[in-house]
Amino acid sequence: MRRREFLASTGGALAWGAPAAAVINAGRLRRSLEELSVFGRPAGGTFADGVSRVAFSDADVAGRRYVMGEMRKAQLDPRIDPAGNIFARRAGTENSLPPVLFGSHIDSVPQGGNFDGDVGSLAAIEVIRALNEAKITTRRPLEIVVWTSEEGVAFGLGTFGSRIASGELGSEVLTTELRQALSKIGGDGSRIGEARRAKGSFHAYLELHIEQGPRLERLGLRAGVVEGIVAIDRYDVAVHGMANHAGTTPMAERKDALLGAARFIIAAHEEIRREEGTQVGNIGEIQVTPGAPNVVPGEARLTLEMRDLSTAKLDRIIGRIRARPEAAGVEIKLRNRTEPALAAPHLQALIEKHAAAMGIKAPRMPSFAGHDAASMAQLGPMGMIFIPSIGGISHSPREFSRWEDCATGAMLLLACVVELAG
């Protein structure tokens, strides 16, 4: 995008009497993503081979060191809070005002990709560089963040750093091993309470992220506006039968729990799909007892998971599932519900406005994956920008987003950050 077009896309807000409009350097953003990909890359591999940069690993330590180096190049002074979150602040003309906070994470799943989290983290640094080069100072201070252990692979605590910051998690989760891991990345478990942020401690939180699904690419679109991060309901399901000898029990006399589970699974999927909308459901876990080839299954235990922005819709669906004949005698117990985290309406409108000014159609859409933004929504207004994932692939070395889409997302982030901060 040419500078004149980009300036027009922000309604002139980026100029402010400065000698030039702030513009994202797409080539530099790409180089930083490629350079970060080295940390956790398989031996002898290339960018296309993905990355294993699990939080607290040596690769994560090296990646964090690289990111902090890039922050310093952008004239920032990074600091690490007791939860291991990396923050860097750019002063505004009125530094007593709450900052605009934006960023993401850089840890990955094993054999993951080079875009999940990385795009939002490095685009945040690129926003600062663009403002520096244009000699633009915002009214509000800007604060960028790289959250600790978003994926939660190492200790099973997803979005760890942001949940510590929001107060969802506290010292009760800190095992000896986790305290040692925090120390390895510069955190301090003995001071973990100091990592908690107060409500209203930021003016707005923005996160740029890959969609991790196929919708934007299938529609031929370059960006999306996140309405919110969906609720997640998980149910423990138990189907009871009677274990018996598989060779001597006539077929008509069997009480096969696994067969009952199969019928329940089909019924659940039918009810999830019966209602219009984007809701999803899954049964991806099953245990059968006694679990022998020559014994009729006496019990089958399943995990049913459903996701949607509307908890009312999820309640309707589980109600219909319970009413099915296939659920008669089946125990269905709610294990836990993760409440939805809704994006602030004014931030959704802001992203839409700047996308339209850039000539980009950006539909509103839910996020079916969890993000650090969900924790930040508990403390203040939250907004998210999605860019397409090729083939809808994520958590895989094949994860890829077009470089031009990465730059577009970063420019959209820049425009929104500057309006919020100005």
Average pLDDT over residues 306-332: 98
| Residue 1 in tokens | 């995008």
| Residue 131 in tokens | 């403002």
pLDDT tens for each residue of 352-375: 999 999 999 999 999 999 999 999
Query: Which amino acid appears at position 237 of this protein?
Result: V
pLDDT tens for each residue of 209-229: 999 999 999 999 999 999 999
Q: State whether 43 and 182 are in the same domain.
A: yes
| Residue 101 in tokens | 């906070």
Burial grade of 55 (CB within 10 A; 0-12, 13-18, 19 or more): buried
Query: Which amino acid appears at position 383 of this protein?
Result: G
Burial grade of 182 (CB within 10 A; 0-12, 13-18, 19 or more): buried
> Where a domain ends, among 312, 338, 364?
338
pLDDT at position 2 over 70: no
Q: State whether 205 and 267 are in the same domain.
A: no
Three-class DSSP category at 269? helix
- Band the pLDDT of 202: cuts 50, 70, 90: very high
pTM tops 0.75: yes
Q: State whether 290 and 400 are in the same domain.
A: no
> Where a domain ends, among 291, 313, 338?
338
Average pLDDT over residues 123-142: 97
CATH number of residue 320's parent domain: 3.30.70.360
In contact, 255 and 274? CB cutoff 8 Å: no
Average pLDDT over residues 117-146: 98
Considering only CA atoms, which of 3, 139, 135, 143 is closest in space to residue 420? 139
> Where a domain ends, among 286, 308, 338?
338
Q: State whether 82 and 224 are in the same domain.
A: yes
pLDDT tens for each residue of 273-318: 999 999 999 999 999 999 999 999 999 999 999 999 999 999 999 9
Q: For residue 315, give its domain range.
A: 231-338
pLDDT of amino acid 380 = 98
The number of helix segments (H) and strand segments (E) in the chain equals: 12, 15
Q: State whether 166 and 221 are in the same domain.
A: yes
Q: State whether 115 and 218 are in the same domain.
A: yes
Number of domains forming the structure of the chain: 2
Q: What's the distance, CA 227 to chain centroid? A: 13
Q: State whether 107 and 22 are in the same domain.
A: yes
Q: What's the distance, CA 237 to chain centroid? A: 28
pLDDT of amino acid 16 = 31
Other C-beta atoms lying within 10 Å of the C-beta of residue 393: 17
DSSP letter at 51?
B
pLDDT tens for each residue of 23-72: 999 999 999 999 999 999 999 999 999 999 999 999 999 999 999 999 99
Helix (H) or strand (E) holding 352: helix 345-357
CA dist 171 → 55, 86, 107, 165 (Å): 18, 19, 22, 12
DSSP letter at 398?
T
User: What distance in Å separates the CA atoms of residue 213 and residue 394, rounded to the nearest whole number?
Assistant: 8
Considering only CA atoms, which of 149, 147, 207 is closest in space to residue 181? 149
User: What distance in Å separates the CA atoms of residue 78 and residue 196, rounded to the nearest whole number?
Assistant: 18
User: What distance in Å separates the CA atoms of residue 70 and residue 27, rounded to the nearest whole number?
Assistant: 15
Q: State whether 167 and 261 are in the same domain.
A: no
CA dist 412 → 3, 113, 223, 280 (Å): 14, 23, 9, 29
Considering only CA atoms, which of 61, 70, 3 is closest in space to residue 34? 70
pLDDT at position 3 over 90: no
Q: State whether 167 and 259 are in the same domain.
A: no
Three-class DSSP category at 208? strand
In contact, 422 and 388? CB cutoff 8 Å: no
CATH number of residue 219's parent domain: 3.40.630.10
pLDDT of amino acid 21 = 85
pLDDT of amino acid 20 = 54
In contact, 261 and 286? CB cutoff 8 Å: yes
CA dist 386 → 167, 267, 352, 362, 368 (Å): 26, 33, 12, 9, 12
Q: State whether 162 and 42 are in the same domain.
A: yes
Q: State whether 367 and 266 are in the same domain.
A: no
| Residue 74 in tokens | 């952008």
pLDDT at position 6 over 80: no
Residue 328 backbone phi and psi in degrees, to 5:
-60, 125
Q: State whether 89 and 166 are in the same domain.
A: yes
